[in-house]
Amino acid sequence: MMERKIALLTGASKGIGYATAEMMAKKGYELIINSRNTADAAKKLREYGAVVEGVDGSLGDAATIKALIAKVEEKGQIDALLLNHGGPPVKPFMEVSNAEWETYTSIMLHGPLRLLRELTPIMQKQQKCRVVAIGSFTVKSPRAGIVLSNSLRAALVNALKTAAMELGSDGILINTVAPGYIATQRILDFNQRYADQENISKEEVDQRTIQEIPLKKFGEPEDVAALITFLLSEENQYITGQNIHVDGGLITAN
Ligand SMILES: NC(=O)c1ccc[n+]([C@@H]2O[C@H](COP(=O)([O-])OP(=O)(O)OC[C@H]3O[C@@H](n4cnc5c(N)ncnc54)[C@H](OP(=O)(O)O)[C@@H]3O)[C@@H](O)[C@H]2O)c1
């Protein structure tokens, strides 16, 4: 009989998170998925035969974290944890309010770290777990106009690097995956905003973006999900504490 394996995936109803949920289900993991509204994704995953439970709520809310911990305790184990959420608003430094700093710090930094911290005793008891957070190529190469993303993700990468160093002896492997330009709603919204600002078409902005990428195309959610799924599975035996790019060669600095 196949060993029972449980994966908890936040931000898993769309885009890269959803693609990862499908791949983990195909690998035989039982899923706990989270986002603010998981109903459609859970239904679709069940149609593929996956065992799925949805927990609705923002990763920035303490009540969501509590509900996720309770769900893992009910299952009695956790083998894989994906820390993900939607991207923050595209806003320049001078336009981000104090309230927005607090909201997005809760969602992008405190929420993921709290969830990991509170699940760690269970992972330590098992002496194994794989953890991945989704970040962004902008951690290594910050872009103007997205200060929330540039800064909060950089803090998360370094916090997780620290956790990876401290928890490796408990069999807990922790990595961050940094997408480049991936064809999801996020990139559509992003490029539409630049098009509106510059009074040009979204297609022109898309073409300009594609010219920046050595592989000359946007990535697909599955391109990123494939690496995340590998890192979250037991096939990953020796990679931890890394921030790995899936960006079509976009970032040239190491
Ligand atoms: N696509 C790219 O090119 C790109 C590039 C660099 C970095 N990234 C980053 O990679 C991550 C995933 O990107 P994506 O393109 O897959 O995004 P996406 O298609 O917008 O999906 C985001 C997922 O997160 C969920 N979510 C949103 N806010 C949440 C919250 N507060 N708490 C829990 N879940 C939440 C969404 O579902 P609900 O609406 O149901 O909550 C959805 O399932 C994002 O952080 C994004 O900024 C993406």
For range 9-21, the mean pLDDT: 98
Q: Which atom of ligand 1 is nearest to the CA of 16?
A: 16
**Residues with a CB atom less than 6 Å from ligand 1:** 10-17, 34-37, 58-60, 84-87, 107, 134, 136, 179, 181-182, 184-187, 221
Using alpha carbons only, what angle is made at residue 133 by residues 111 and 191, rounded to the nearest 5 degrees?
Answer: 95
Q: Give yes or no for residue 12 having a pLDDT over 90.
A: yes
Nearest to 160 by CA among 175, 179, 144: 175
Backbone angles phi, psi at 21, to 5 degrees: -60, -45
Dump pLDDT digits (tens) for 73-121.
Answer: 999 999 999 999 999 998 999 999 999 999 999 999 999 999 999 999 9
Q: Which atom of ligand 1 is nearest to the CA of 38?
A: 40
Q: Give yes or no for residue 251 having a pLDDT over 90.
A: no
Q: What domains can you pick out in the chain, each with its CATH number? A: 6-180+220-246 (3.40.50.720)
Beta bridge partners of 74: none
Residue 84 C-alpha to ligand 1 middle, in angstroms? Answer: 7
Q: Give yes or no for residue 45 having a pLDDT over 80.
A: yes
Q: Structure pTM?
A: 0.97
Coil/strand/helix, residue 42: helix
Q: What whole-number distance in Å separates Cα of residue 70 and Cα of residue 156?
A: 24
For range 57-63, the mean pLDDT: 98
Q: Give yes or no for residue 252 having a pLDDT over 80.
A: no
Q: What whole-number distance in Å separates Cα of residue 230 and Cα of residue 213?
A: 24
C-alpha torsion angle, residues 1, 68, 15, 194 (rounded to 10): -160
Residue 87 C-alpha to ligand 1 middle, in angstroms? Answer: 5
Can you give the pLDDT at residue 253? 65
Dump pLDDT digits (tens) for 178-231.
Answer: 999 999 988 888 888 889 989 999 999 999 999 999 999 999 999 999 999 999
Nearest to 107 by CA among 65, 44, 59: 59
Which range (40-44, 137-141, 164-168, 250-254) has the least confidence?
250-254
